[in-house]
Amino acid sequence: MSHDIALASAHALVGATANDARTDAVTPGAFLARTPHAAAITVEVATGARLATLQTDWQDLASRADTVNIFMHPAILRIVGESYPERPCRVLLAWKDAGAGVPRIAGIWAFAIDRAPQSLIPMSVLTAPPMSNAYLSTPVIDRECLDSVLDAMLTHIAEDASLPKVVALDAMGADTATMQSLLHVLEARRSASCIFSQSLRPKLASDLDGKTYLERALSSSSRKKLRQHRRRLVEKGTLQSSILTDADALKRAFEDFLVLEASGWKGRQGTALLSRPADAQFARTMITALAAQGEAAIHMLTLDARPVSMQIVLRAGPAAFTWKTAYDEALHDVSPGMLLLEDYTAALLADGGVAHVDSCAFDDNGFMAAWTERAAIAQMWFDARRGGSPVFSVLSRLQASYISLRTRAKAIYRNNRQHKVC
């Protein structure tokens, strides 16, 4: 799909709405919520101990889900609760009757109770993803019962007195059946919603082999330059490309990754994982947990056994996620990050267990724009209550105005910087 076609599809799918409607009375408190038209769906809020028992259920759900989202993995969510106690994490688990009274997991959607991202409005909301350093809000739901699970989850939120009623999704997959179902359910419930922004992020989804894919994705001049860069690195020492999947090797290499990331621009800006102890502890524990399940890998380029470029890849069912990347900025003139992208693009396309790869990028302006497929991502709020509330309409308009001003201010800042450089 071309960039323009994908963008047009995203616009058609996620046209923003903000509905003023009456407020239906709701009864707070019930721990289990059932939908009137799908009585077999039940919803619970899971605790840390409960999440620790769900590995098999997670793998089963990932094989049936419309969208697989690594940031809804029960093991990660348990670690989130332990690493960020100041931001309470609430994990909704939906179950359906698989026959003979046996429950089968049908959905997972996790939120933090916190201020909405990129907002000045002083109120607590349910926000997803529920932690920093996560890049997708989409719930993981059985593709056969999307509407009924989403309706049951929204009913639970509306009726649980301990949960905020406004939901803020910072990175919702917009070109998915899950999004279509969410919009349908919100409309059926007459629940107010507002989509503030949308963007396209690179993804990798192709039947081509790595060599053919890159020949089509990159210009001949770009490929020639990368071959020259690789030769220049080889002249400096022994260059090796490798993939680490062993749990112990991953744990050791991840410490190298943390140091490499902190040595670059992320360290200078204070956004590297080592910049905040809680983020570093979360990341270490997460990588250890996923590596033990064979759900993490590190792709890296080494020069004389020293890492010069590293990419963390997380796995969830048929999906892979290029979570974090780092490279030696002293070698920026030979593009070690782009050279590694060539290597892991080929490796991921050759992996028969990977259907697609989410770049986890904020937009398609970075070096991962070399991947030619695109995923539409939306930032949206909605009111979980049936009929919404007049207050939500006011809040969403304030937020839309703030985001518009923020976007304009960023554009002015970028233009001023470009003029200064010229």
The DSSP result for 185-212, as a single string, is HHHHHT--EEEEEEEEEEEE--SS-HHH
How far apart CA 111 and CA 381 sit, in angstroms, is 13
Statement: residue 115 has pLDDT above 60 = yes
Percent of the chain predicted with pLDDT > 90: 77
* Fold entry, domain 3-202+377-421: Aminopeptidase (3.40.630)
Q: CB-hemisphere CA count at 13 Å for 157?
A: 31
Examine the pLDDT at 163 and tell me if it is beyond 70.
yes
Question: pLDDT band at residue 419, thresholds of 50, 70 and 90?
Answer: low
Tokens found for residue 189: 């419930």
What is the b/e burial string over 45-56, where b = at least 16 CB atoms within 10 angstroms of the residue's CB?
A: bbeeeebeebbe
Structure confidence at residue 1 (pLDDT): 40
Do β-strands 166-173 and 124-128 pair in parallel, antiparallel, or remain unpaired? parallel
Residue with tokens 């920093």: 132
d(CA 181, CA 287): 32
Find, among 92, 96, 91, the residue nearest to 60 by Cα.
96
pLDDT of residue 171: 96
Cα separation, 292 vs 290, whole angstroms: 5
If one compares 6 and 181, the residue with the highest pLDDT of the two is 181
Token pair listed for 360: 């986890």
H helices of 218-333, where? Answer: 220-236, 247-262, 265-269, 277-292
DSSP-derived secondary structure letter, 344:
H
Separation CA 114–CA 300 (nearest Å): 36
Strands in 3-130 per DSSP E: 33-35, 38-46, 89-97, 103-115, 124-128
The residue with greater pLDDT, 419 or 164, is 164
Does residue 49 register a pLDDT over 80?
A: yes
Distance of CA 128 to the CA centre of its chain: 9
Q: What is the mean pLDDT of residues 34-40?
A: 48
Evaluate whether 3-202+377-421 and 206-354 have a shared fold: yes
Q: Per the structure block, which two tokens stand in for 326?
A: 């780092």
For 193-212, write each residue's pLDDT tens digit.
999 999 999 999 999 999 99
pLDDT at 417: 63
CA distance 254 to 348: 20
Give how far Cα 45 sits from Cα of 50, 93, 101, 314, Å.
Answer: 9, 6, 20, 25
Listed by start position, the domains of the chain span 3-202+377-421, 206-354
Q: Which class is domain 206-354?
A: alpha beta
How far apart CA 132 and CA 170 sit, in angstroms, is: 11
* Least confident window among 72-81, 272-281, 294-303, 401-410: 401-410
Q: Band of the pLDDT at 366, cuts 50, 70, 90?
A: confident
